[in-house]
């Protein structure tokens, strides 16, 4: 089974070069290093290989052997002036490092199948998300786009949680959390507050054989409140508010509550919300663009500097 947010099949690279100009360190494993060394040797450019690939010194993370160098202006060594990749043109897509083949796709291996979304640090993804309709979860027997084998950004198996833990019901909770964020009878701030109260209530439930019954009772009570909020009328929303909604839905779909726990994930979302709310303050014509910029920065930090972000969220 393939489970994905409905904008995923519409993504194609716009060749804007943004991801190739980010300050993240793109690494290759030892097999990638050797593959590139042999390729550059065959084309008589051993000197360029030495300049482009720098073995990492000291302690290295698994799968990280060398880094691709940056040009003086900050772009990737292989980025051309037309925003196309020299290595891709000469050696083909399959030759690229896994990060370059994968981004901005975000595949996850879960107990219910392969789940897939996109990263909001890509301008083309933001363009796809700039729409009034809510993001929807799609289930299908075929992948929406070609996927790399065994290239998963997260693995989620609620059955491995401690017995009677509320996270054993993670998929039901994720569905509910997305419904909360998409409740347009509340302001975006109101939805985050509602979500925080729900996460706190769930975290306070004791681990017991009745955990499932208690989770169900809480969710049913919440839907009564959400239905009442919707019946009272839709809160005033503009495109910036909707972009914020889509960002938080996407982040929740990335299994943030499973990966960081109910309390840790909520702290993370609240820390991000404070930044995004500050960027979106005011109702002027430039609000959407400021929010888009803040969303890209928040997504970039979550994906590439998560440890520091979690420390900030925890007040450390």
The pair of three-digit structure tokens given for residue 259, joined into one six-digit string = 């990966």
pLDDT of 312 reads 66
Residue-averaged pLDDT of the chain: 89
Confidence of residue 200 (pLDDT cuts 50, 70, 90): very high
**Quick one: how far is CA 78 from the chain centroid?**
25
pLDDT of 164 reads 86
Rg value, the chain, Cα: 21
Question: Using CA atoms, how far apart are residues 59 and 25, in angstroms rounded to an integer?
Answer: 15
pLDDT above 70 covers a percentage of the chain that reads: 95
* Distances 131 to 15, 48, 127, 276, 278 between C-alpha atoms, Å: 21, 44, 8, 18, 22
For residues 14-42, give the mean pLDDT: 85
pLDDT of 271 reads 93
Go through 166-193 and write b for each residue having 16 or more CB atoms within 10 A of its CB, e for each that does not: bbbbbbebbebbbbbbbbbbbebeebbe
3-state helix, strand, coil in the chain (%, to 5): 55, 10, 35
pLDDT of 298 reads 92
Name the DSSP letter for residue 4.
E
* Distances 97 to 46, 110, 146, 155, 245 between C-alpha atoms, Å: 19, 24, 16, 21, 32
The pair of three-digit structure tokens given for residue 3, joined into one six-digit string = 């489970």
Residue owning tokens 């302690």? 59
pLDDT of 316 reads 60
């Amino acid at each position: 089974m393939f489970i994905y947010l409905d904008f995923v099949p519409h993504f194609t690279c716009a060749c804007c070069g943004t991801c190739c100009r980010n300050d993240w360190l793109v690494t290759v494993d030892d097999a990638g290093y050797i593959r590139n060394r042999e390729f550059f040797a065959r084309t008589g450019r051993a000197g360029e290989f030495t300049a482009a690939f720098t073995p990492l010194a000291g302690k290295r993370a698994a799968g990280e052997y060398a880094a691709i160098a940056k040009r003086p202006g900050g772009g990737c060594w292989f980025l051309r002036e037309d925003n196309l990749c020299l290595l891709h043109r000469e050696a083909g897509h399959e030759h690229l490092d896994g990060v370059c083949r994968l981004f901005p796709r975000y595949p996850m291996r879960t107990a219910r199948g392969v789940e897939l979304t996109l990263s909001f640090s890509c301008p083309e993804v933001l363009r796809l998300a700039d729409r009034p309709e809510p993001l929807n979860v799609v289930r299908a027997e075929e992948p929406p786009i070609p996927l790399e084998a065994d290239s998963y950004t997260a693995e989620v198996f609620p059955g491995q949680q401690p017995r009677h833990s509320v996270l054993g019901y993670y998929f039901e909770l994720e569905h509910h959390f997305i419904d909360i964020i998409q409740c347009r009878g509340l302001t975006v701030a109101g939805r985050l507050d509602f979500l925080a109260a729900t996460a706190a209530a769930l975290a306070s439930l004791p681990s017991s054989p009745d955990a499932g019954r208690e989770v169900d009772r809480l969710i049913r009570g919440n839907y009564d409140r959400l239905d009442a909020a919707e019946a009272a009328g839709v809160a005033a929303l503009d495109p910036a508010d909707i972009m914020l909604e889509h960002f938080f839905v996407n982040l929740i779909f990335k299994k943030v509550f499973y990966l960081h726990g109910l309390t840790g994930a909520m702290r993370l979302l609240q820390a991000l919300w404070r930044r995004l709310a500050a960027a979106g303050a005011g109702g002027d014509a430039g609000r959407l663009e400021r929010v888009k910029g803040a969303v890209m920065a928040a997504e970039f930090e979550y994906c590439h500097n998560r440890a520091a972000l979690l420390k900030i969220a925890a007040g450390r």
